[in-house]
Amino acid sequence: MPKDPVCGKDIDESGARASTGQTAHGAAEVDPNMGTRSFHNGQWYYFCSMDCRTKFLASPNTYTG
Ligand SMILES: [Zn+2]
């Protein structure tokens, strides 16, 4: 089970994936209540909320080590 790299929470991957369909332009559609994910450096990162995702995207190196 993937972990939220920001807060360390376990993420329900299927739930996050189901809620991140892609638009015709490839942008991720997210449901903030279901968790979300982001593609970074060749892999998916999962987040419990838009909050954690925003923190991660602001400074990914802080969380990927
Ligand atoms: Zn989180």
Closest alpha carbon to 20 in 10, 33, 8, 9: 33
Q: What is the DSSP letter of 37?
A: E
Residue 19: what residue type?
Answer: S
Burial label, 5 (beta-carbon count in 10 A; 0-12, 13-18, 19+)? buried
Return residues with CB closer than 5 A to ligand 1 (ion).
Answer: 4, 6-7, 9, 48, 52
pLDDT tens digits along 10-19: 988 777 666 5
| Confidence bin at 2 (pLDDT 50/70/90) | confident
Count of CB atoms situated within 10 Å of the CB of 17: 16
C-alpha 28 – ligand 1 centre gap (Å)? 18
Q: How many domains does the chain have?
A: 1
In a domain, 1, yes or no: no
For residue 2, give both structure tokens: 């993937």
In a domain, 28, yes or no: yes
C-alpha 12 – ligand 1 centre gap (Å)? 12
For residue 54, give both structure tokens: 């925003």
pLDDT tens digits along 50-64: 888 889 999 999 998
In a domain, 54, yes or no: yes
pLDDT tens digits along 22-48: 555 555 555 555 677 788 889 888 888
C-alpha 54 – ligand 1 centre gap (Å)? 10
| Confidence bin at 9 (pLDDT 50/70/90) | very high
